[in-house]
């Protein structure tokens, strides 16, 4: 599709509200429908260029740690960490940040992380599965009791199994799509709320 064709109403609304990306509206909808951001610290994956970060800032009074493997222009009052969430060393970096800020964990984990689509649905689905599963594992490590997760993936064969695997850790679970997702995309969000606090089953 041409660049002009991709400039939809969300693109123009993002421009007028000075969001760095139209993706901000995805988080705004998830927040309105599910209250995925509370008053506590937020851990965000796949933050660059920063639309979700800007949107998250308007809801939380807690600090935000945003992570992406590509750089992000600074957002005031947000810590940005350039790191690959699939790399095991990211866990140490998150732990270091928490202890430097005297925090025990995060009340929300948000992930809009995704690799560039290849056009091969099965490949895109399995890559998104790998990212989403890792985000959910990191959520179990770093969420505080009662916490919440919203994580993106491309729907496919492995979605139901992944959803089931993590459902038992939370009181509320939902697979949903949002209206700012582009037509024809299989993008969905796994939303889990009210973390039990039990990190293993
Ligand atoms: C759709 S964009 C995110 C848009 C952003 N949430 C916003 O609102 O502006 C997906 C992001 O996921 C990041 N990403 C993909 N794989 C990643 C990984 N393994 N670790 C960290 N970030 C990753 C990409 O670099 C990209 O910036």
CATH for 110: 3.40.50.150
Closest ligand 1 atom, residue 26 Cα: 8
Residue 151 domain flag: yes
Q: Are 26 and 180 a contacting pair, CB within 8 Å?
A: yes
pLDDT on residue 3: 43
Q: Is residue 134 part of a domain?
A: yes
- What ligand 1 atom has the least distance to the C-alpha of 72? 27
Spacing, Cα 166 to ligand 1 middle (Å): 22
Q: Which residue has tokens 């037509």?
A: 183
Residue 49 Cα to ligand 1 middle (Å):
8
User: Is position 200 within any domain?
Assistant: no
List the pLDDT tens digit at each of the 201 positions of the chain. Answer: 444 446 888 999 998 999 999 999 999 999 999 999 998 999 999 999 999 999 999 998 899 999 999 999 999 999 999 999 999 999 999 999 999 999 999 999 999 999 999 999 999 999 999 999 999 999 999 999 999 999 999 999 999 999 999 999 999 999 999 999 999 899 999 999 999 999 876
**Active site residues per annotation:** 152
- Whose alpha carbon is nearest atom 5 of ligand 1? 47
| Residue 85, ligand 1, Cβ within 6 A | yes
pLDDT of residue 8: 86
CB 137 near ligand 1, within 6 Å: no
Look at residue 201 in the predicted model and tell me its pLDDT.
65
Asked if residue 139 belongs to a domain, the reply is: yes
Please give the pLDDT value at position 199. 83
Ligand 1 in reach of 112 Cβ (< 6 A): yes
Q: Is the CB of 69 under 6 A from ligand 1?
A: yes
- Asked, for residue 55, whether it belongs to a domain, the answer is yes
Within a domain: 71? yes
Does residue 201 belong to any structural domain of this protein? no
Give the domain extent around 95. Answer: 3-195
Q: Is the CB of 17 under 6 A from ligand 1?
A: no
Contact between 55 and 24 under an 8 Å Cβ cutoff? The reply is yes
Residues in the chain: 201
For the beta sheet containing 187-195, the strands, ordered from the edge strand earlier in sequence to the opposite edge, are 78-82, 64-68, 42-45, 106-111, 143-154, 187-195, 170-176
- For the chain, how many structural domains are there in total? 1
Give the atom of ligand 1 at the shortest distance from the alpha carbon of 86: 19
């Amino acid at each position: 599709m041409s660049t002009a064709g991709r400039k939809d109403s969300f693109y123009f609304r993002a421009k007028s509200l000075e969001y760095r990306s139209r993706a901000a509206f995805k988080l705004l909808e998830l927040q309105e429908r599910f209250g995925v951001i509370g008053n506590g610290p937020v851990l965000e994956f796949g933050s660059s260029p920063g639309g979700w970060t800007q949107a998250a800032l308007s809801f939380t009074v807690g600090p935000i740690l945003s992570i992406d493997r590509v750089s992000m222009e600074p957002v005031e009052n947000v810590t940005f960490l350039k790191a690959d969430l699939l790399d095991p060393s990211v866990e140490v970096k998150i732990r270091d940040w928490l202890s430097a800020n005297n925090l025990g964990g995060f009340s929300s984990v948000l992930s809009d992380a995704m690799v560039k689509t290849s056009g091969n649905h099965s490949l895109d689905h399995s890559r998104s599965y790998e990212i989403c599963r890792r985000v959910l594992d990191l959520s179990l490590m770093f969420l505080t009791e009662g916490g919440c997760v919203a994580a993106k993936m491309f729907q496919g064969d492995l979605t139901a199994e992944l959803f089931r695997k993590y459902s038992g850790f939370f009181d509320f679970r939902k697979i949903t799509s949002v209206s700012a997702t582009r037509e024809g995309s299989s993008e969905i969000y796994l939303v889990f709320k009210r973390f039990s606090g039990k990190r293993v089953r």
